[in-house]
Amino acid sequence: MTNKYKVPPQIEHNVKSVKDIGKGKNAFLSRRTTGDIIFDTVNLIIMILFTITMLYPLLNTVAVSFNDGTDALRGGIHLFPRMFTWDNYKAVLSKELMPTAAKISVLRTVIGTVTSTFVTALLAYVLSRKNFIFKKQLSLIYVITMYVSGGLIPVFLVYKALGLTNSFAVYILPGMVSAFNMLVIRTYMNGLPESLSESAEIDGAGHMTIFIKIIFPLCMPVIATVALFTAVGQWNSWFDAMLYNRMSDNLTTLQYELMKLLSAVTTSGKGQTAQSMEHASGMVTPTSVRAAATVITSLPIICLYPFLQKYFVAGLTIGGVKE
């Protein structure tokens, strides 16, 4: 509990008062009640159990990824490989397009996340203005987009007409404004005290100034959340690479390369004749290569979270408001 109110140094100047409160609370908390102790013990046990169940699948995947492919078919591998090998990683990393794919994945994640988060936050700002006359209409227009879709072929045709096929832009533009993320940010903005923007308005600040200088910084926890959602979405998506950029090897992404490995086994074989299956069967990707590919493609994005966690610190926003 003590550290819950610890404030990262870079914004310390904003939140002196909170820090003081935190100190006071420290002293107060040292007198823990029996209830507290029971609660914390139970909580600790729950968290340990929870962690184990959540960690197991990944550890298992890592174990399988280091195990010989044919041997792994037998199953029964849990936390440690039975026949250790680097071959699966070699098989995945030896795929020729991996360096290009990694570059494009990083680029689309960075550019896509920065643009989308900013633009979505801007829309959220517009729609969080209480007196904006088209607030309701514009919100509705965006809410609807979450539940309707023209379908695969019409969307493809529109993007093609826009010149988005075989282009990097197809990774950025279609997902630039997300209704879901906008609503999440707007909800957070609605929770901020109105006095903030009002006083700025009296000082003569324009909307863009208020948004960039005041509201956006105050929304860091939710911005971090949305950035995380967007980054993970960008990193994990492969369908767009497959559908729009299939023939452009220089625009392939890591997840698409992974999917190519996976799909040899997961795509339904309906319509495949026995004879054609014979020709495909030698190509079925072993489970262990799948596991290696999963580890390789998910590790980088998993590492993102700890960096964003510093924004999930209580007191940050309200501290600013208090000043």
Taking CB under 8 A as the criterion, which residues in 193-252 touch other proteins?
A: 204-209, 221-222, 224-225, 228-229, 232, 236, 238-239, 242-243, 246-247, 249
Main-chain dihedrals φ then ψ at residue 48, nearest 5 degrees? -65, -50
Q: Which residues contact 218 (CB under 8 A, 6 or more apart)?
A: 192, 196, 317, 320, 321
* Joined tokens for residue 8: 């990262």
Pick out residues in 136-165 that bind other proteins (CB under 8 A).
Answer: 136, 138-158, 160-165
- Is 152 buried (19+), middle (13-18) or exposed (0-12) by CB count in 10 A? exposed
Q: Which is nearer to other proteins, 13 or 274 (CB)?
A: 274
Distance of alpha carbon 257 from its chain centroid, rounded? Answer: 19
Q: Which residues from 68-87 bind other proteins, rule CB under 8 A? A: 68, 70-71, 73-76, 87
Site for other proteins in 103-142 (CB under 8 A): 122-123, 126, 129-136, 138-142
Return the bridge partners of 16, or none: none
Q: How far apart are CA 107 and CA 194, in angstroms?
A: 37
In the complex, least distance from residue 229 CB atom to other proteins, rounded to whole angstroms: 8
Q: Which residue, 10 or 28, is less far from other proteins as judged by CB?
A: 28
Considering the complex, what minimum distance in angstroms separates the CB of residue 4 from other proteins?
7
| Minimum distance of other proteins from residue 6's CB (angstroms) | 8
128's CB contacts (< 8 A; 6+ apart) are: 186, 189, 190
77, burial (CB in 10 Å: exposed 0-12, middle 13-18, buried 19+): buried
Q: Which residue(s) pair with 67 in the sheet?
A: 84
Minimum CB separation from other proteins for residue 251, in Å? 13
Q: How far is the CB of 220 from other proteins (least distance, A)?
A: 9
67: three-class secondary structure by DSSP:
strand
Give the shortest CB-269-to-other proteins separation in angstroms.
5
Q: According to the binding rule CB under 8 A, does residue 21 interact with other proteins?
A: yes
Interface pick for other proteins out of 12, 13, 16, 44 (rule CB under 8 A): 44
- Assigned token pair, 157: 């045709």
8, 26, 36, 79: which one binds other proteins (CB under 8 A): 36
Residue 45 interacting with other proteins (CB under 8 A): no
Site for other proteins in 248-307 (CB under 8 A): 249, 256, 259-260, 262-281, 283-287, 289-291, 294, 298, 301-302, 305-306
Exactly one of 12, 26, 43, 250 binds other proteins (CB under 8 A); that residue is 43
Block residue for tokens 């109110």? 5
Partner residues linked to 84 by β-bridges: 67
Total of residues contacting other proteins (CB under 8 A): 161
Is residue 3 within a helix (H) or strand (E), and if so which, with residue range?
none
Between residues 44 and 110, which has the closer beta carbon with respect to other proteins?
Answer: 44
- φ, ψ of residue 67 in degrees (nearest 5): -105, 150
* Residue (110 or 138) nearer to other proteins, CB: 138
95 touches other proteins (CB under 8 A): yes
Closest CB 242 distance from other proteins, rounded Å: 5
Pair 2, 311: CB distance under 8 Å: no
Nearest distance in Å: CB 16, other proteins:
13
Three-state secondary structure call for residue 53: helix
